[in-house]
Structure 1
Amino acid sequence: MNTPLPSTAPFRRDAPAADRASFRAARRKAAVQALLLALPLLIFLLATFVAPIASLLGRSVQNPEVRDGMPQLSAALAGWKGPDVPGEAAFAALAHDLKGTGENGQLGNIARRMNFYQPEFRSLLFKTARATRSQTPDQWKPALIDLDARWNEPETWRLLKRASVSPTPDYLLNAVDAHVAPDGSVAPVAADSAVYRAAFARTVAISATVTVLCLLFGYPVAYLLATLPEKQSSRLMLFVIVPFWTSLLVRTTAWYVLLQPGGVINSALLHFGIVKHPLPLVFNRTGVLIGMTHILLPYMILAIYSVMKNVPPVYMRAAKSLGAHPAVAFVRVYIPQTLPGVGAGCFLVFVLALGYYITPALLGGAGDEMISQLIASQTNDQLNWGLAGALSCYLVVFTAVFYFIFNRLVGIDRLRFG
């Protein structure tokens, strides 16, 4: 005799209390089991994805170098308001802390941090640190001013005070070409020093252009794959899938070989007399767009194809039978049904293009730097992790904003893949 399985539907309110309690206990047990099964994956994601990103974003407001390395100076400057240079107590605290940083090896980190504010600050600190170890005057203020006149400038001390405050908005302001002026207001940096806002605009422009190109090239290919017989469609699909099996660096390097002045493309154009001189196809915006479009095109094709496969052909036949021209039926009947796939493909390509690094670095020129390249430069060359974190923070914000715009225009709940 078969025993009926217990129902998973909720009990009615008039069910016995013991049955309701047993049901809730079974649900809790099932939830705990599901959580335990997913726990290793959650821990892996936290350790390898969430924690590193959170750490990098946290560096955008952290400012520990001066505060931790020069605690007496930080405390002495906490009550200093300006506009004149601080008193003897701040100078004595500076001398004492510089002696200590020389002993514990923190002076290099402090000097590098201050150099982000003012390029000559590193030499000033090392020069002063050497002097403090070789002399013990009765008054440090006149001694340090005689050593270097910059210690008699309020701006020097203002920068030290700003560097001793944590958390700080300085990195986030620098990432949009702004800084805190001496009067405490936020002001733009000099025009010849403005880099990052133009880089953000360039990144968005390149990503949008690549998205449009992928849509123009990808939509016809996806339509062809969706309307061909299954056997032919599967064979052609290999040409879309195979790039996923090839390294990104290999594909970008291949374009580098093809696009250079003596490469295959220019050689063919010169051979057939189409051009008289090699075209500039690499180390400029053209090379970046060609390389990124080729690499991101499969994402657009697959997103649109997955929706097109679920579009019933009867709608097109019905429109044609009612007298609609095939082109009119395609535009007014078929295309609207594929818009969820178009939206998903555009969003996917755009977001991926925002963070691209290898392709612009190899195929682009000096005027085609994207935000990802500036982040890599700040972490690898400048060792300015705070500014790199601030740039990454804005990149995350941009991605979130574009996601909400996409969700508002297309809607995640409208996407159907299968």
Structure 2
Amino acid sequence: MVTTPITPELVRGALELERTELGLAPHRLPARARAQVNSMEHADRGQIAMAEAQPSGVRLVLRTRATVVELDTLRTRVGYRDLPLRPDGVYDLLVDGRLTTRARATGGRVMYLDPATGTTETQPGPVGTVRFDGLPEREKDLEVWLPHTEITELVALRSDAPVAAAPPGDRPVWVHHGSSISHGSNAASPATTWPALAAAAGGVELVNLGFGGSAMIDPFVARTLRDTPADLVSVKLGINVVNGDVMRRRALGPAVHGFLDTIREGRPTVPLLVVSPILCPIHEDTPGPGAVDLDDDGAMRFRATGDPADVAAGRLTLRVVREELARVVAQRAADDPHLAYLDGRALYGEADAEALPLPDRLHPDAATHALMAERFAALAFGPGGAGSQLWDVGGWPG
């Protein structure tokens, strides 16, 4: 077996690789943004610190004749105190762009997060190995998609033939920011989250900045989007400011304007698509904050705890958020021909909620991720969709 150093040229989808005692830790926020996260109070920083370190959309991209590839990783499974652990994370292997097999790692740590205080407690564990064998004995491109639900340190890469970085190619780069739905909650695997599937359908390179529970219109995220090279930027905003109950209507519009202003400082003419929340019945007309219930079978279900009567006083619901986002984009589009709005209910709406209800009342299941991906690809990348006006003006290379 040949050991190949894991270098940045082998990794796509991460914004930074942090050197650790054992190897490399992919991050989806740069160090400056992480420093600002770490300056928050414990109860606020735990969620986003965990989410950005979970490598949704991050993959190793290799060119090789190897028939066996082994990857040593130190995973950190994340659980919430007093709630059951999520299932083990999945590694997807794509051979020449086609999903071929899946595997799971062994060993690893377990980090328990206390949502009330933001404090964590970590139980240690050993490095584990993910092995893919029986691969075709020819020159091929491999993509190993890292688990979107587990913090992952890359420790060692071995194979039975030399490995090199696959050439970057000329596919356009799509940078997307959103909530846990964009992060991939309840998707079957990392290559089958709706952004990953949409990127494959649209023929683009994905940088996924979907952060579970943490799409809060934060300035440090806007600066990250400003500074990340992209041919298309999309931002899917709304559900977390409602279920986190973090602002009122008075603050929402100016916050979105500021968020988009910052992106435009560095990407003045890049096509920019603002996407509102998909349908979520519990929060359509009921404000947050959201809460978690456990069914008798241990399954998690979400509910809204706010009072609809408070909407008149400025509390946010998804219906209010969509009105504000549409208003802000319409105002800005008069001077920004590279900006467009997409109602998230075009990805998942009333009829879909009847046919494919959200299992936990908040997150789509695997079938719904596939449905959303198909629709987004058509609307954002296809002719005649919400993005077509942007490509005509902005010279979209797709």
> Greater CA radius of gyration, 1 or 2?
1
Q: TM-score, normalised by structure 2?
A: 0.23
Question: Which structure is higher in helix share?
Answer: 1
Question: Which structure is higher in strand share?
Answer: 2
